[in-house]
Amino acid sequence: MDLRDRFFGNGTVEPGGLPVANVAWSDPPSFQLLYTGALGIDADLLREVLQDYHPELAQATAELIRIPAPPPLAGGAGSPPAMMGLIAWGRHVVKVVGFETPMPRSVLDRTVGPAHYEAEIKQAAYAHASHIRLFYAGYDPDVLEQHVALAAAAAALARFGAIVTMNETAHSSVPAPVLLPHEEDGGDTLRAMRTLPLPLLYCGMVVIEPEGEPGVWVRTYGCPVFSLPDLAIRPGPEDQGQAIFELFGNVLAHMRNEGLTFLPGDTIHAGDGRALKVREPKPHEWFLRSEGRILVAEQVGAEEAGKT
C-alpha cells in the first residue's frame, strides 16, 4: 500500500506489516520542531537514528516523501507541506509533516517566549526557516505513552539540526537536545521520557502578568489532555520558579499515579510544614481559563490546614 494511502489511514494493520496511521484520534497529541534551514532529512539515516535510540525501537521504520510545490495559492494564503511520512515501531505510529516555512510568530510567543532556557536558543527559534509537525497516529491508548512516542520521534528528528521541540497545546518548548540520550539516563532513555516532569513539555508552566491584576501568576496548560486539572498559584515573596515547578510536577504526578484528583476545598501538604488549599477560579480571574478544569492553590496557615 502506498505511503500516502497509509498516511491517511487506508490499509489493513497486520503484524509485521507496513504501518497504517490510526485516524480514529479526533485531536491527537502533537509536537513541533523548528529548524534553521531547509529540511534535509534522509529516511534511511532517520531509521538508523531511531533504532539506536532505545532497544524498544530496534525495529523502528521511517518513511518520508517530498511533495512537489503546488502553484501559489490565491492571495498567498496557507503553506502547503513539503514533506510527509510515517515513523513507526510496535503499537506506535507518528505522522511527520514538514514545511519549508516558519511557524506563525503568535505560536512562538506562546511556546518559546515564556520558556526557561537560554536567550540565544530563543533567538535562533524565532529566526527559524522551516518546521516539522508530529502527530500521534498509533494504537496505544495511554496518553503518556503517546507523548513518549512523540518525544522519541522528536529526538530522532532533532539529530538533523532542530533548534527546539514545542508542544503548542501545552504552551511549552525545550531545546531539541533535551530529548536526546544522556549519561544520567543509564541507557534507558525511554524510561527518562516516561518520567519527565509533566510541566516540562507534556504539559506546560507559564508565568503570566494579567492586565489589571497586580503581581504575577503561575499556571499550567495542557493538563486536561491527561485527564488532570490545570493548576495555578499566585506566588508569594518566598516562592521561586523551580520550587513551583517541582510542586506542580509532584501534584500532577501524584494525581496521575494514584488515579485521583483534588477537589475545591482540599488541602495539599507541600512539605516543610507548608499547606495549600485549592479552589476554583473566581469569576474575575478570566486569565485562568482552561480547556478543562483548573484549580487555584492558595497557602493556608497550619491551624486551617489541620481542619482538613
Half-sphere exposure at residue 135, Cβ-oriented, CA atoms within 13 angstroms: 17
Domain-ending residue, one of 137, 163, 196? 196
Domain final position from 178, 196, 214: 196
224 and 167 in one domain?
A: no
Pair (55, 136) in one structural domain: yes
Identify the CA nearest to 236 among candidates 263, 201, 270: 270
Alpha-carbon distance of 172 to 192, in angstroms, equals 18
**What total number of domains does the chain contain?**
2
Closest CA to 92 of 44, 43, 144, 49: 144
Specify whether 183 is located in the same domain as 219. no
Domain check: are 184 and 100 in the same one?
yes
H or E element in which residue 35 lies: strand 30-35
**pTM, rounded to two decimals:** 0.92
Q: What is the span of the domain harbouring residue 238?
A: 204-305
Question: Are 55 and 109 in a shared domain?
Answer: yes
Asked whether residue 192 falls in the same domain as residue 208, the answer is: no
Nearest to 218 by CA among 253, 178, 245: 245
Record the cell numbers describing residue 33, joined without a space.
Answer: 520542531
The cell for 128 is 527559524
Distance from C-alpha of 66 to C-alpha of 82, rounded to nearest angstrom = 6
Instruction: Name the burial class of residue 289, with classes exposed (0-12), middle (13-18) and buried (19+) by CB atoms within 10 angstroms of its CB.
Output: exposed
User: β-strand 61-66 against 92-99: which pairing, if any?
Assistant: unpaired
Q: Coil, helix or strand for 81?
A: coil
User: Could you read off the pLDDT tens digit of each residue along the chain, which spans 308 residues?
Assistant: 799 999 999 998 988 899 999 999 999 999 999 999 999 999 999 999 999 999 999 999 999 999 987 666 555 556 778 999 999 999 999 999 999 999 999 999 999 999 999 999 999 999 999 999 999 999 999 999 999 999 999 999 999 999 999 999 999 999 999 999 998 888 899 999 999 999 999 999 999 999 888 889 999 999 999 999 999 999 876 677 888 999 999 999 999 999 999 999 999 987 777 899 999 999 999 999 898 999 999 988 655 555 54
Pairwise CA distance, residues 296 & 290, whole Å: 12
User: Both 142 and 186 in a single domain?
Assistant: yes
Does 164 lie in the same domain as 48?
yes
CB 160 within 8 A of CB 176: no
d(CA 172, CA 150): 14
State the burial class of residue 299 (Cβ atoms within 10 Å of its Cβ: 0-12, 13-18, 19+).
Answer: middle
Q: Does 39 lie in the same domain as 126?
A: yes
User: 196, 224, 239 — which closes off a domain?
Assistant: 196
Q: Are residues 156 and 184 in the same domain?
A: yes
Residues 24 and 162 in one domain: yes
Q: Three-class SS of residue 11?
A: coil
- The C-alpha angle 203, 223, 127, rounded to 5 degrees, equals 30
